[in-house]
Structure 1
Amino acid sequence: MTVHQYSRISIFMIVLLSSSLCISDFCFLVSGYSLVQEPQTFYVSLSGNNENPGTVDQPWRTPSYGVSQLDAGDTLIILAGEYHLDGALHFETSANNEAPITLKGQNAILNAGGLSNDYANRDAIFLDYVDYINIENITVLDAPRSGIRISWSNHVTITNSTFGSNGKWGIFSDFSDHTIIDSCETYGSGEEHGIYLSNSGDYPIVRNCLVHDNYASGIQFNADPLMGGDGIISNGLIESNYVYRNGDGGGAAINLASVRDSVVQNNLLFDNAAGGIACWDDGNEGTNYGCKDNIFVNNLVTFEEGVGRSALQMIEGSTGNIALNNILIAGDSGDYALEIDATSSITSDYNIFYHLESIDIIWNDEQGITLDDWQELSNDLHSSLFEPSILFQNYLLDNYHHANESPAIDMGTENYAPVRDIDGFPRPYNEEVDIGPYEYSPFGSSTAPYDSTTSSKIPTDLPLTNLYVGLILLGVLCTLAWFHYKR
């Protein structure tokens, strides 16, 4: 065999190898993508029929039926109107990160007032052992127990939705990780909390929400140490929420039990009847389940005169916590701006304190003491005491933006401070950070919502990369072969 023949055979084998690479990857793409059922969008309408195919022209009639038909990647759009539910919306099909299931409303109201209070129907929307579910722009009213329950279900996101006048909770979760509640409103929970995330669910996020007029707490993260799991909620985020007029039945506006390594920032808590931010262990014996190693930064807690409990409370083994840039105002003479018991500790500085009815600002284990006494113990050395009337634009009308000459302006620290304020305005405006959830600007604050999440849509799958490389290599070798034969 001549050298020329060897050369031809070698080039042929290389071309064949490159072609095989491309063909194998093409087959992978066909089997992995093309043969999978395409995501579909279905519709529910008050004028629909469950015998229809669920298209926009022939929609289904009931939301519960629509939810039962969904597969991974599907979207169900509930068209405008008030739906009196005949049964709970029970999600039983799980999804994945690439193909979540989405329930989306278009001015849709789910009235759950006619549901029975049994296990299957007491929660208007029930997610049970399902992952990657998105709930958007839905209003849920009058459920026997909760507007939505997320049970043993991870990566559930609820956005731009309202949960009102439900029997026990607005939003409830148990044993569920990566729950995100963003830009929602919860109000009027009859027995307990507006938002209640429980049972060791890690990585919870509650942001940009209105939480008000609930009987107990506004937002409660309670790991329920005796209910199984590790008894700890870790890596949570509570930010930029307005929490007000909660707690007639007890329960702090933000109530934390056995919460660790979490951040509470940019929240505005006012006119609540019980505590402000409470950190404790849910009443378990010992100190193992207190709230530990959390950061409380740029929050405002205030009460009406003669009303409320402590603005920030650390008890029952709550240690390693940090409090910076907060405005903490106590309302009732029997409680304090900052409360710490003998089992707890805090690193606290650059805060503004005040008490509407007492000169004692801090409860230090067994006694109330003044801010001067507290600072003599080397605590809060850069913190101050100011009346609310000089801090805010209109304290009596619940306008808590900084007054033009507010002493809170430029008095904070950049340590742990969020990069935007509760209005979405960049922080700091000047060289120094302001104290409290608002950052002062003489030109007013931005109202742009703050979304700290980022995502990438760039495909990085290895088979797809191999296909591109193979095609390029094939083209180069074919060109070389053509020149070789032309010689």
Structure 2
Amino acid sequence: MFSLNLIKTFPISVLLAILPAGPLSATDYYVATSGNNQNPGTQNQPFRTVARGINAARQPGDTVLIRAGIYPQIRTLNLANPGTEGRFITLKAFENEEVIIDGSNLPEDATLIAVLAHHIRIQGLTVRNSQNIGISIWGPGTRVHAVEVSGNRVHHCQNSGIYAGFNRLSDPVRDLLIADNIISECSLMNEGGQYNQWSFGAGAGLSRKVTIINNTVSHCYGEGIGLYLSNKGTIEGNTVHDNFSVNIYLDNTTNTRVSRNLVYSTEDQRFYRFNHPASGIQIANENYQGFNNPSSHNVITNNILIGNYIAISSGSYQRGGGLKHTLIANNTAWGSIGPLLHIDADTRHYKSRISNNIFKQTGKIPLTDIQGSTTQIEFSNNLWHGGVPQQSARSTSDLQADPQLINGGSFNPEAYQLSESSPARNAGMILPEVELDFNGKPRNNRINLGAW
């Protein structure tokens, strides 16, 4: 070691030379099908493989820009180098070029892209033919957080399209954004009714603060979008249709908002379970050995649900638990194959509200299937049409009338706006949780029933 006196005698220029360097500047690395992995990875001399680009991107702020083409993989692409706040490590397509990451040649059960670190972005890629998960975000929250997966097209995966999770509730994967992706033909392991393993088109388990917004999720042989053993999630602005069993599923999930989603079935029977389409939005508590996070304090508002099996459902199978501190408000449910609202009998319902909704049935199916006592569920200001709801679902503030929607029955959300003469106009109660409508516009204390 240098002595203090010796250091004092050094010239300033020498001292500056031995001081720690500041943060390295971020670098853009390029990958192209015409490249070579011996190149420096510049735009004019790109790498050949995506794996080589990921390996080079080691400093916070580095970006891997992939030029157009098909990039077959024989092993999982692991993003293990972390970024920092404001300096993400990014894997993305170059200027909206079509970049296809293909997993057809992966080993059996291999995931295609795995995020194993924090402050990572994946943008604008087509991810297809994974032998397991398309894009996986896996690990403890202390290591895996602040991950953004946006603007990708993910399809034909044996397991989930985009999935996040870990195996400890004490350190859940956290602070994730899954936005503006198109996800389809996933959970193929269950195709043909094999039911090997339930999975999501997009979802997370043992997670906290997962935001799933503005995605389109369809034609998956598992749930469309789901959270389980999760807390403080957001599922908002998505279009979810023709998935298997349930389109949007909250399982052992707390403090989560499900809002402004368009959820429907086109009657594509490839995705029927038990000879009927998926339910729209469902809350339940399945059994997970060693884990306990019963669903409560969830808010389901401003959704439009069309032609599902059951529009909104609470299930008491397996662990049960009932609706606890749950708000179901200002949703528009149209024409289900089964009842529009289903609530299993459960003695543990507690301080829940179902208000300001429009329930319009179009066939001869009952409006409701409510079992057991609902003394801990407050019903108010709902509009019912196409039948008579059960006594346990009625209130003196209800309307039983045609809601007079602009063009109900289509899959265009605009068609579910209220006509000028609709009795649902200004017929709702003010709820702080529904200040905005389906389009995200303020309601300004003039509360219509339904999502608009």
Match of 1:193 among 189, 197, 200: 200
Alignment of 1:30-69 (within 5 A): 35-69=22-56
Amino acid at match of 2:164: S
**Which structure 1 residue ranges, 5 or more long, are not aligned?**
1-26, 224-232, 440-487
> 3-state SS of the aligned residue for 2:53?
helix
Distance in 2, Cα, partners of 1:236 & 1:373: 33
Partner of 1:341: 345
| Residue of structure 1 aligned with 2:371, choices 354, 365, 369 | 365
- The answer to whether the 8 Å contact 2:341/2:370 transfers is no
| Cα RMSD for the two superposed structures | 3.0
CA distance in 1, matches of 2:368, 2:68: 52
> Aligned runs of 1:67-466 on 2, under 5 Å?
67-71=54-58, 72-106=60-94, 107-118=97-108, 122-128=110-116, 130-152=117-139, 153-175=144-166, 176-189=173-186, 190=188, 191=190, 192-198=199-205, 200-223=206-229, 233-247=230-244, 250=245, 252-271=246-265, 273-283=277-287, 289-303=293-307, 308-315=309-316, 316-318=320-322, 319-329=324-334, 331-333=336-338, 335-345=339-349, 346-358=352-364, 360-366=366-372, 370-371=388-389, 373-376=391-394, 378=395, 382-385=397-400, 390-396=404-410, 398-399=412-413, 400-405=415-420, 406-417=422-433, 420-424=436-440, 426-428=441-443, 432-437=446-451, 439=452
In 1, Cα distance between the equivalents of 2:124 and 2:429?
37
Go from structure 1 to structure 2 and tell me whether the alpha carbon gap of 1:351 and 1:38 turns closer, same or farther (over 3 Å shift).
same
Q: Does the 8 Å contact 1:351/1:384 carry over to 2?
A: no
Deviation at 1:245, TM superposition (A): 1.3
Matched position secondary structure for 2:43: coil
**Matched letter for residue 132 of structure 2:** R
1:69 offset after TM fit, Å?
1.7
Letter in 2 for 1:311: I
Partner of 2:384: none
Whether the 8 Å CA contact 2:334–2:408 is kept in 1: the answer is no
- Please report how far the alpha carbon of residue 371 of structure 1 lies from its aligned counterpart in structure 2 after TM superposition: 2.7
- Aligned equivalents of 1:74, 1:147: Cα separation in 2: 23
Cα deviation code 1:73-132 (max 9, x no counterpart): 21111112222234322111122213221111132333424332346xx2111112x111
**Per the alignment, in what secondary structure is the counterpart of residue 218 of structure 1?**
strand
Find the counterpart in structure 1 of residue 170 from structure 2: none
User: What does the per-residue CA deviation read over 1:142-182, in whole Å, with 9 as the maximum and x for residues that have no partner?
Assistant: 11111100001211111111111211211011121111111
The answer to whether the 8 Å contact 1:47/1:61 transfers is yes
8 Å contact 2:254–2:293 — kept in the other structure? no
Q: Distance in 1 between matches of 2:111 and 2:290?
A: 34
Q: TM-score, normalised by structure 1?
A: 0.71
SS of the aligned residue for 1:179 comes to strand
Q: In structure 2, how many angstroms separate the alpha carbons of the residues matched to 1:165 and 1:407?
A: 45
Bigger Cα Rg: 1
Could you tell me how far apart the structure 2 residues matched to 1:366 and 1:237 are?
A: 30
1:391-450 Cα shifts (integer Å, max 9, x gaps): 2425245453415334444444442445554445x222x65134444x4xxxxxxxxxxx
* TM-score, scaled to structure 2: 0.77
What CA distance in whole angstroms lies between the structure 2 residues aligned with 1:235 and 1:344?
22
Q: Secondary structure at 1:102's aligned position in 2? A: strand
Equivalenced residue count is 384
Deviations 1:272-307 (A, max 9, x none): 712111111124699964311111111122216xxx
Which amino acid in the other structure matches residue 243 of structure 1? Answer: V
Q: Which amino acid aligns with 1:235?
A: K
Q: Check 1:397–1:221 CA distance in 2 against 1; reply closer, same or farther (3 A cut).
A: closer
Shift of residue 218, structure 1, vs aligned partner:
0.8
Q: Could you say what secondary structure the match of 2:41 adopts?
A: coil
Q: Distance in 2 between matches of 1:285 and 1:91?
A: 30
Which residue does the alignment assign to 2:377?
A: none
Query: What do residues 323-344 of structure 1 show as CA deviations (whole Å, max 9, x unaligned)?
Result: 11112345234x4424242245
- Once the two structures are aligned, what percentage of the paired residues are identical? 22
Q: Take 2:218 and 2:183, find their aligned partners in 1: how far apart are those partners?
A: 7
Verify the 8 A CA contact 1:266 1:436 in the aligned structure 2. no
Which residue type is aligned with residue 85 of structure 1?
A: Q
